[in-house]
Structure 1
Amino acid sequence: MPTSKIKARGFDVDRVQLGDIVLTTTRKFQSRVIQVGVGADISHAMLCVGHGSVIDSTPEGVQARNLARIVIEAGCSAYVLRPSKPLSAGQVNTVIAYARGHVGARYSIGNALKSLGLKVSPGRRQFCSRLVAQAYESAGVYLSQSPAFCTPGDLLRCELLEPVLDAVFELSPEQEAARRKADPVQEMRDATNALLKSARKIAPCIESLNDIDVHLIEHPQNDARMVEAIHASGYLELWRTQVANTPWHYDVNQLIAHHVLESAAQDYCADVVEEEVRNPSHFAPMRAAYMRYHMAYPLEYFSLQVELYTTLAKNHAQRLRVAITLLERKGVLTAEYTPPVLPHTLKWYLSLADWDPRLSLRVAQAVQAAGENTAICTMCTKEPTRDYIAITPPPAGPGTYRLCDECYARHATEEPLELIPAS
């Protein structure tokens, strides 16, 4: 059902998968003009990058949005499209990474209009359907003969895509009113745009957040100015608002008290766990990436990003831990025993590199310098040592250490540990 002349509608986020393409329009004059130009009843394209999360390009720039907040006005069309030949997990990750990598890039009205006719040099700015087509192109899937000038109509008519049935439903007046309330994701968009506005005063060539990293690597003398810009934007403090607004995400007792219906709390927790399985959090990999940047280029901007993603990864892990705890209490989720990864093994190094590449490299070098002696302490290289595991697993990495008594006493005050049985 592409349109409804009577009621507003919304997207069923449980029917929309990673990599799906969402097409919409509005009753605004500009949207009507685009519909005529593209020869279709839609004017805008978005890409699903998480459960209920989409990325698109609008005059605000390339930004993330909450699909569950979008209201399709009565009389307007909407579609969810999915490749008829399913993408591999690697392709989906590539598509999503491309879209995330362009967050903040400015919108190009000129290129959006040129996509309707004259094909000229595309430039680095984005418009909605180009972003989607180029994201797919990065994974080796061509949704248009010219991805740089792909239109929403091209996507709708693409033979490689098929519609997802029942992805749109009619909203009750109460549901519509709830969706039209202030969107908390707007704070992220505002902070991102504020950061990029300041960054472009330093380097006009910057389009996306990723461009800031590249610029600082090439121009480290601008580190202090970029640090000032990110502090002034509020970008580093957004997580505090999220925690303050939803404290029940991080405490199982508050979670139970927050939901009037016990089943609602259980459904929420099931969604959190299912989403982690379908789309693992990118906070820990981002932390590791910025740690590698900081190892090669010891700039304060990269250090601030490490601190930010450390906090985000820990908050996400706590939210997941709370959801799992409640489901285990209800008997609908049974924890499976996984043997701990023994310290200073190849698997341990690789796992630790996903959370703390600096420590992983340092221990590997120390073991090698000690004549391949893996019995040395993870932290100080002394002996004798014993193997420990964190009582509360970290957001990523093995969570195990080989420690001397002195380092155990010091480390255990920050992260409770217990001995790994010798067997």
Structure 2
Amino acid sequence: MAASNKGIQTIEDVVSHLIKHPADDAYIADLLTSSDYLTLWQINIERNPWQYDDVLLAEVPRKECEEYCRGIVEDDANGPHRYVVNRGAFKGLHHRFSLATFKLFFELYDLLSSEHRQRVTVARRWLEANGLIAPAIERFHVPHTSEWFATLHQWDPVQAAQTKFVVDDAGREDVCSICGDDPADDYRLAKPFRPAGTTGTLRLCDDCLEIRRAMGEPYEKL
């Protein structure tokens, strides 16, 4: 039983333990939901609401504001945030093992990724509005390129593996990312709907495009 395992100290320990002892899943999931662990992120929003709001951020003393904004934007430019990396990892773990604990961690890091993206967006807008950095050049990865697969694998390793199988099975890259049919065109999610940490692009046939749009995903042609 996990309760008697004093070696469980970190999230990595939890993952390792559950892979070996999946029968403890319900117990650990209950510990998570009954504790404050899954809601700790709310403390930062309550203590530092200015990090998430343009109007409140503008009220922070300029020197302090610039230092904060530069720090978070520069950190974001160094590579995928750990929240994004952990989100992708638990997406894959939940798909493979179907454990409630892994699902809870995935949902937590999915939320944390969105919260982090909001902080970065607000900070960048302040820096741009004050002429301290140039406006960001919007970039995206073309579907089925090596860069596209690498980015998608970090965000959603399950979808990345499924699309890789579809493309390899078709023996060509100009097919639908979902079903492998052709013809297929390149699309990108409308900006307000793009999740943090992924390019938001897919190569879609007409049928899969309509299905995605019906699911509330407004893809626009590149």
**Which interval holds the TM-score relative to the shorter structure?**
0.7 to 0.9
Amino acid of the structure 2 residue aligned with 1:363: T
**What does residue 87 of structure 2 align with?**
287
| Secondary structure of the structure 2 residue equivalent to 1:210 | helix
User: Within 2, Cα distance between the matches of 1:403 and 1:375?
Assistant: 10
Please report how far the alpha carbon of residue 277 of structure 1 lies from its aligned counterpart in structure 2 after TM superposition. 4.1
Q: 1:407 to 1:263 in 2, by over 3 A?
A: farther
- 1:226 is aligned to 2:28: yes
**What does residue 163 of structure 2 align with?**
363
Q: How many correspondences in the alignment?
A: 219
Q: 1:221 to 1:285 in 2, by over 3 A?
A: same
**What does residue 308 of structure 1 align with?**
108
- 1:236 is aligned to 2:38: yes
User: Within 2, Cα distance between the matches of 1:416 and 1:314?
Assistant: 18
Amino acid of the structure 2 residue aligned with 1:346: S
User: Within 2, Cα distance between the matches of 1:410 and 1:202?
Assistant: 48
**What does residue 185 of structure 1 align with?**
none
After TM superposition, the score normalised by the length of structure 1 is 0.47
Computed over aligned residues only, the root mean square deviation of the Cα atoms, in angstroms, reads 2.6
User: Within 1, Cα distance between the matches of 2:117 and 2:208?
Assistant: 25
User: Within 2, Cα distance between the matches of 1:217 and 1:228?
Assistant: 17
| Secondary structure of the structure 1 residue equivalent to 2:188 | strand
| Secondary structure of the structure 1 residue equivalent to 2:155 | coil
Please report how far the alpha carbon of residue 262 of structure 1 lies from its aligned counterpart in structure 2 after TM superposition. 4.4
User: Within 2, Cα distance between the matches of 1:321 and 1:336?
Assistant: 10
User: Within 2, Cα distance between the matches of 1:266 and 1:407?
Assistant: 44
Identity of counterpart residues, as a percentage?
Answer: 31
Is there any run of 5+ residues in structure 1 with no aligned partner, and where?
1-198
Q: Would the aligned equivalents of 1:353 and 1:397 in 2 still touch at CA under 8 Å?
A: no
1:18-52 deviation digits (Å, cap 9, x = unpaired):
xxxxxxxxxxxxxxxxxxxxxxxxxxxxxxxxxxx
Amino acid of the structure 1 residue aligned with 2:185: R
Q: Would the aligned equivalents of 2:41 and 2:112 in 1 still touch at CA under 8 Å?
A: yes
**What does residue 19 of structure 1 align with?**
none
1:220-276 deviation digits (Å, cap 9, x = unpaired):
1111111111111121111233223333322323322x42x4454333312322333
**What does residue 186 of structure 2 align with?**
387
Q: 1:250 to 1:380 in 2, by over 3 A?
A: farther
Q: Would the aligned equivalents of 2:186 and 2:201 in 1 still touch at CA under 8 Å?
A: yes
**What does residue 323 of structure 1 align with?**
123
User: Within 2, Cα distance between the matches of 1:210 and 1:341?
Assistant: 31
| Secondary structure of the structure 2 residue equivalent to 1:313 | helix
1:366-401 deviation digits (Å, cap 9, x = unpaired):
1222x2243333234444332122325532233211
1:25-82 deviation digits (Å, cap 9, x = unpaired):
xxxxxxxxxxxxxxxxxxxxxxxxxxxxxxxxxxxxxxxxxxxxxxxxxxxxxxxxxx
Q: Would the aligned equivalents of 1:269 and 1:324 in 2 still touch at CA under 8 Å?
A: yes
Q: Please identify which structure carries the higher helix content.
A: 2
User: Within 2, Cα distance between the matches of 1:368 and 1:281?
Assistant: 30
**What does residue 141 of structure 2 align with?**
341
**What does residue 220 of structure 2 align with?**
418
Q: Which moved more, 1:223-232 or 1:262-271?
A: 262-271
Please report how far the alpha carbon of residue 294 of structure 1 lies from its aligned counterpart in structure 2 after TM superposition. 2.2
**What does residue 217 of structure 1 align with?**
19
Please report how far the alpha carbon of residue 316 of structure 1 lies from its aligned counterpart in structure 2 after TM superposition. 0.5
| Secondary structure of the structure 1 residue equivalent to 2:55 | helix
Q: Would the aligned equivalents of 2:2 and 2:28 in 1 still touch at CA under 8 Å?
A: no
Q: 1:336 to 1:247 in 2, by over 3 A?
A: closer
**1:377 aligns with one of 176, 182, 188:** 176
Is there any run of 5+ residues in structure 2 with no aligned partner, and where?
none
**What does residue 403 of structure 1 align with?**
204
Higher relative contact order (CA 8 A, sep 6+): 2
- 1:250 is aligned to 2:49: no
